[in-house]
């Protein structure tokens, strides 16, 4: 009976310890920091995106979360590229020449983005964070340029607005995580 309180203390200690490093907590805390530093990034979008990856359940540190976020971008840009390709085929007869030209530009931008995000992942893996940062920025530029292309004429609506926005926001998550990693590296060294 005498040992009971300390056992309880121990139990609570370990419970809260493991709870603190649980992946859900990690995601929430990271997204809180990301959305605070980048007003363009929605906290809810960040949490939902990271949690949508099955890999995130096993994530126990920021570096793993960064890798997951880059994989999410890769899936997004690959999916968007495929979507544009399909759109050009299926709607070949109904799209105006202007819309087709915009979509073809986007197709090119996203084809480049697919290889750029692969390079981003390589740079990230080898902890070349500055390079990863530069490459990610060009993925953001691709999404922005694609969307801006449609905006040049008021009567043309972009069929890619949501997808471009997703890529934009997912990239903001990765950029934010990479900056956190760079800063913590500077603190240690
Ligand atoms: C937010 O997005 C706009 C473009 O949509 C950009 O001009 C601005 O620099 C972004 N702000 C941050 C903090 O990234
Ligand atoms: C892109 O990412 C967003 C946010 O995680 C998700 O809702 C959407 O389904 C993804 N799209 C593709 C094509 O993977
Ligand atoms: C669209 O149709 C034109 C002629 O009808 C054809 O030359 C062109 O290859 C088609 N494009 C695609 C992407 O299917």
The CATH number of the domain holding residue 13 is 1.20.140.40
Cα of 157 to ligand 3 centre, how many Å?
Answer: 22
Does the Cβ of 49 fall within 6 Å of ligand 2? yes
**Pairwise CA distance, residues 1 & 23, whole Å:** 36
Encode the chain (189 residues) as per-residue pLDDT tens digits: 455 667 666 666 665 555 445 888 899 999 999 999 888 899 999 999 999 999 998 888 999 999 999 999 999 999 999 999 999 999 999 999 999 999 999 999 999 999 999 999 999 999 999 999 999 999 999 999 999 999 877 778 899 999 999 999 999 999 999 999 998 866 554
**How many domains does the chain fold into?**
1
Please tell me if the CB atom of residue 56 comes closer than 6 angstroms to any atom of ligand 2: no
Q: Ligand 3, residues 87, 92, 101: which to mutate, most atoms within 8 A of Cβ?
A: 92
Residue 146 lies in domain: 3-188
DSSP 14-41: HHHHHHHTSHHHHHHHHHHHHHHH-TTS
Residues 113, 139: Cα–Cα separation, whole Å: 5
Ligand 1 centre to CA of 139 (Å) is 14
Ligand 1 atom having least distance to the Cα of 38: 13
Find, among 53, 65, 66, 183, the residue nearest to 120 by Cα. Answer: 66
For the chain, strand residue ranges (E) read none
Residue 83: its H or E element: helix 62-90
Kindly report the pTM of this predicted structure: 0.85
């Amino acid at each position: 009976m005498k040992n009971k309180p300390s056992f309880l203390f121990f139990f609570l200690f370990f419970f809260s310890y493991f709870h603190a490093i649980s992946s859900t907590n990690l995601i929430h805390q990271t997204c809180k920091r990301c959305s605070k530093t980048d007003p363009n990034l929605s906290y809810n979008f960040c949490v939902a995106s990271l949690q949508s990856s099955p890999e995130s359940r096993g994530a126990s540190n920021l570096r793993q979360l960064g890798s997951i976020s880059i994989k999410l971008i890769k899936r997004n840009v690959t999916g968007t590229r495929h979507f544009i390709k399909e759109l050009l085929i299926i709607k070949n007869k109904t799209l105006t020449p202007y819309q087709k030209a915009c979509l073809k530009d986007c197709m090119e931008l996203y084809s480049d983005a697919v290889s750029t995000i692969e390079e981003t992942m390589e740079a990230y893996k080898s902890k070349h964070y500055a390079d990863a940062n530069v490459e990610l920025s060009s993925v953001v530029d691709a999404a922005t340029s694609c969307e801006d292309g449609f905006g040049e004429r008021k009567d043309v609506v972009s069929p890619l607005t949501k997808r471009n926005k997703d890529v934009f926001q997912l990239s903001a998550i990765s950029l934010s995580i990479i900056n956190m990693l760079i800063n913590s590296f500077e603190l240690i060294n």
